[in-house]
């Protein structure tokens, strides 16, 4: 009696026995490549593989040989040796050197034969000792057409599968190792398939092996963030290639924004001649010779690691078994910087907002820079204008409130070295609600000489004195105090909760409260959902469902949880309205440059349309610091809560001065859940 997978299981057991019993252990992949590979085509045709030609490849093979990773994800530009380095050579190493079964994934069935003929077979033929292992019979033998399996001369079997094949096309074959090319196609399920996406189906072929022995190679260009290979980036090593600048000694990774010279060119030749990279840190020009020298000394830095001027790497990489290896245009020595400048210049000559310009931008992102492509905005989106935001100034000086101010709220955002606050006044003009920003600023968090907790505590104590003084209303001399002060507790709750406990405790009418934003754009990256009813933990719920208050038992105080996505959208809507229009926002007086930083923060995060699996969905995209946008969104929600509360505890009942000694030092530390 036989079983359906009996032959595959026996083949796997035999392959492992052969691997373990070889009299000469397999060479590391880097050594095997250097010993065996002869370049089959191009300007280096017939030459042995030389790591000096493309130094990034040496870093890639070193990581494979390290044994630290089971998944090896390679993203790189076209014409960089990506297919050879990340797709063909791992396949040939495992079948020719280790002599084991291999699952080879290609996007479509029609590509299987082409991929073998164009990419794999030439490498076998050009390398003398590898040529002896070419298929001797069956599929692929003697130049015959490739079908679904290939048997190498040493007995190693290759199973070819496609992302578009039916589920049975991926079943019934067991292998420890697989590799796929053009990875984006493997992240989508076939419309007729009842199983998981193609990548998970291929992974299922490894299930007879322990997870620690499974190996995968995933190669592709940058499509969009939501598709492979970029969708694998968050749960990975998030590695980057760094090179030491010859001018400032900083270890840098020049990108698209650091390609200079082509922008002011009048012709293609001028653009190519003037193009060069600049250092991201010191902005000095990097010559072609310096670029080569930098990359010959390049190192791979994983997320969480740092490197000093001597090239010593410290810090632990993420706790993952997935390597994410990203070759940038700068690291691609097969093409000079002039090529990149020429491509950029040509694209810039195409009329903006045209399908042709969109296509050119997509090509630049994916094939030149190997970065995710972001689809352009559509007319249905809110489009902010920097000049229009900065020019919505009233004649009121900083710190003064309009005569028609009804109430004031403050939003505070915190970081490790800096914090930000913004004051928002609610005005009522002839029965219409409007908003005014009388004050905002950045403040230092002196964490260089003390712990982050102590630094944030000291900074908030100083800020408390500013907020307690209040703001004067124009023409009346009346001083208004903030009815709500929301302090972001998502970054470091150990510093925020003790202060809120001292000032507010469990007082639902207390003006100072810890703030926890929830939404796609927050560090939690979870959709906000308001509870249906209050109880012992949930103490208040906004009738509109945009915020609710929870009791933080161990901190002996309260926190407000609020919808960041919708709140920021409301802020952007208000900023898109002309000053004076109901619901609009105005700013305090100044020059045209006064509010440059504020404007950047407001515009550095916007709701855009992106394509996911052929559908357009809305996603928040952040391009820089957005702290003051967080602050105004907090303050906007704070004004809503102030209007909801029947009464607010007066500020004169609070201490005139807040000190460290007044804070409860016995509050248990490290008991609150930090954002993921």
pLDDT in tens, 626-638: 999 999 999 999 9
Q: Is the pLDDT of residue 178 over 80?
A: yes
**Residue carrying the six token digits 């909760």:** 497
How far is the C-alpha of 22 from the C-alpha of 19, rounded, in Å? 6
- CA–CA distances in Å: residue 125 to residues 31, 131, 132: 20, 5, 9
How far is the C-alpha of 622 from the C-alpha of 568, rounded, in Å? 12
60 CB neighbour count, 10 Å cutoff = 28
- In degrees and rounded to multiples of 5, residue 622 shows phi and psi of -105, 135
Return the higher-pLDDT residue of 276 and 148.
276
- Return mean pLDDT, the chain: 85
Q: Is the pLDDT of residue 607 over 50?
A: yes
Q: Is the pLDDT of residue 245 over 90?
A: yes
pLDDT for the residue numbered 3:
37
Return the higher-pLDDT residue of 490 and 383.
490
| pLDDT per position as a tens digit, 45-80 | 888 888 888 999 999 999 999 999 999 999 999 888
With a CB cutoff of 8 Å and minimum separation 6, the contacts of 385 are none
**Residue carrying the six token digits 């050197």:** 97
| pLDDT per position as a tens digit, 513-524 | 999 998 865 544
Report which DSSP code applies to 333: T
Q: pTM score, two decimals?
A: 0.56
Buried-state track 428-441, b at ≥16 Cβ within 10 A, e below 16? eeeeeebbbbbbbe
How far is the C-alpha of 497 from the C-alpha of 557, rounded, in Å? 7
**Residue carrying the six token digits 């995060």:** 605
pLDDT for the residue numbered 9:
45
How far is the C-alpha of 30 from the C-alpha of 38, rounded, in Å? 14
Tokens found for residue 498: 């003790």
pLDDT for the residue numbered 181:
85
How far, in whole angstroms, is CA 135 from its chain's centroid?
43
Tokens found for residue 642: 């102030």
**Nearest C-alpha neighbor of 373 from the set 86, 87, 180, 608:** 608
How far, in whole angstroms, is CA 523 from its chain's centroid?
11
Across 180-189, 455-464, 602-611, the highest mean pLDDT is recorded for: 455-464
Domain boundaries, the chain: 6-26+79-220, 246-368, 386-597+625-646
Q: Is the pLDDT of residue 107 over 80?
A: no
pLDDT for the residue numbered 16:
53
Average pLDDT over residues 474-491: 94
- In degrees and rounded to multiples of 5, residue 262 shows phi and psi of -75, -20
pLDDT for the residue numbered 135:
84
| pLDDT per position as a tens digit, 355-391 | 677 778 888 998 899 998 876 654 456 778 888 888 8
Tokens found for residue 218: 């995933």
Burial of residue 149, with CB atoms counted within 10 A of its CB: 0-12 exposed, 13-18 middle, 19 or more buried: middle
Which pLDDT band holds residue 190 (cuts at 50, 70, 90)? very low
pLDDT for the residue numbered 461:
95
Task: Answer for the pair 327, 82: CB distance below 8 angstroms, yes or no.
Answer: yes
Which pLDDT band holds residue 430 (cuts at 50, 70, 90)? confident
Which pLDDT band holds residue 203 (cuts at 50, 70, 90)? confident
Average pLDDT over residues 296-301: 96
The listed CATH number (3.40.1390.30, 3.20.20.30, 3.40.50.10260, 3.40.50.300) that belongs to domain 6-26+79-220: 3.40.50.300
Bridge partners of 429?
432
**Residue carrying the six token digits 């000086």:** 397
Tokens found for residue 627: 């702290």
With a CB cutoff of 8 Å and minimum separation 6, the contacts of 673 are none
Tokens found for residue 565: 């996505």
Task: Answer for the pair 417, 449: CB distance below 8 angstroms, yes or no.
Answer: no
End-to-end, the C-alpha distance of the chain in Å comes to: 52
How far is the C-alpha of 558 from the C-alpha of 641, rounded, in Å? 14
Q: Is the pLDDT of residue 674 over 80?
A: no
How far is the C-alpha of 456 from the C-alpha of 453, rounded, in Å? 5
How far, in whole angstroms, is CA 21 from its chain's centroid?
44
């Amino acid at each position: 009696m036989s079983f359906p997978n009996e032959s595959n299981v026996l083949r796997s057991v035999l392959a492992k026995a052969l691997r373990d019993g070889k009299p000469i252990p397999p060479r590391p992949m880097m050594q095997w490549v250097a010993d065996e590979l002869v370049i089959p085509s191009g300007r280096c045709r017939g030459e042995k593989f030389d790591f000096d030609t493309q130094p990034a490849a040496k870093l890639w093979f070193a990581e494979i040989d390290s044994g630290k990773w089971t998944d090896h994800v390679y993203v790189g530009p076209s014409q960089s040796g990506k297919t050879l380095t990340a797709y063909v050579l791992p396949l040939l190493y495992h079948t020719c050197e280790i002599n084991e079964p291999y699952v080879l994934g290609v996007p479509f069935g029609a590509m299987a034969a082409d991929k073998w003929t164009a990419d794999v077979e030439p490498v076998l033929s050009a390398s003398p000792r590898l040529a002896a292992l070419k298929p001797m019979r069956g599929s692929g033998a003697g130049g015959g057409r490739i079908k679904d399996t290939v048997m190498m001369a040493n007995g190693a079997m290759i199973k070819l599968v496609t992302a578009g094949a039916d589920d049975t096309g991926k079943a019934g074959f067991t292998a420890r190792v697989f590799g796929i090319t053009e990875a984006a196609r493997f992240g989508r399920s076939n419309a007729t398939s009842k199983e998981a996406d193609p990548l998970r189906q291929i992974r299922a072929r490894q299930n007879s092996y322990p997870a620690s022995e499974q190996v995968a190679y995933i190669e592709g260009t940058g499509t969009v963030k939501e598709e492979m290979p970029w969708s694998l980036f968050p749960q990975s090593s998030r590695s980057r290639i760094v090179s030491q600048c010859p001018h400032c000694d900083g270890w840098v990774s020049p990108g698209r924004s650091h390609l200079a010279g082509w922008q002011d060119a009048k012709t293609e030749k001028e653009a190519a001649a003037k193009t060069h990279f600049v250092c991201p840190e010191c902005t000095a020009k990097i010559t072609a010779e310096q670029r080569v020298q930098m990359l010959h000394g390049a190192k791979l830095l994983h997320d969480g690691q740092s490197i000093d001027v001597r090239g010593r790497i410290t810090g632990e990489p993420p706790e993952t078994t997935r390597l994410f290896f990203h070759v940038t245009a700068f690291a691609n020595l097969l093409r000079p910087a002039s090529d990149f400048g020429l491509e950029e210049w040509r694209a810039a000559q195409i009329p903006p907002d045209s399908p042709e310009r969109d296509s050119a931008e997509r090509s630049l992102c994916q094939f030149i820079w190997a970065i995710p492509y972001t689809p352009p905005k559509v007319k249905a989106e809110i489009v902010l204008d920097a000049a229009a935001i900065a020019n919505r100034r009233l004649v009121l000086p900083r710190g003064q409130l309009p005569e028609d101010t009804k109430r004031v709220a403050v939003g505070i955002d915190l970081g490790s070295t800096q914090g930000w606050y913004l004051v928002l006044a609610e005005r009522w003009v002839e029965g219409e609600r409007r908003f005014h920003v009388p004050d905002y600023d950045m403040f230092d968090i002196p964490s260089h000489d003390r712990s982050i907790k102590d630094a944030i505590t000291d900074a908030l104590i100083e800020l408390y004195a500013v907020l307690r003084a209040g703001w004067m209303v124009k023409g009346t001399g009346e001083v208004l105090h903030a009815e709500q002060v929301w302090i972001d507790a998502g970054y470091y709750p150990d510093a925020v909760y003790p202060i809120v406990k001292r000032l507010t405790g469990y007082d639902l009418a207390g003006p100072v409260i810890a703030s926890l934003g929830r939404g796609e754009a927050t560090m939690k990256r979870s959709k906000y959902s308001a509870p249906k009813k209050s109880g012992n933990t949930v103490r208040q719920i906004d009738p509109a469902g945009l915020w609710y208050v929870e009791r933080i038992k161990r901190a002996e105080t309260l926190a407000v949880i609020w919808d960041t996505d919708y709140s920021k959208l409301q802020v952007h809507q208000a900023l898109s309205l002309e000053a004076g229009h109901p619901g609009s926002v105005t700013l305090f007086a100044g020059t045209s440059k006064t509010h440059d930083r504020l404007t950047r923060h407001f515009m550095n995060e916007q709701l855009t349309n992106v394509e996911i699996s052929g559908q357009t969905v809305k996603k928040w995209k952040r391009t820089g610091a957005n702290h003051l946008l967080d602050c105004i969104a907090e303050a906007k929600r704070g004004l809503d809560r102030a209007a909801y509360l029947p009464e607010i505890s007066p500020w004169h009942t609070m201490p005139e001065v807040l000190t460290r000694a007044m804070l409860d030092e016995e509050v248990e530390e490290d008991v609150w859940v930090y954002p993921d």
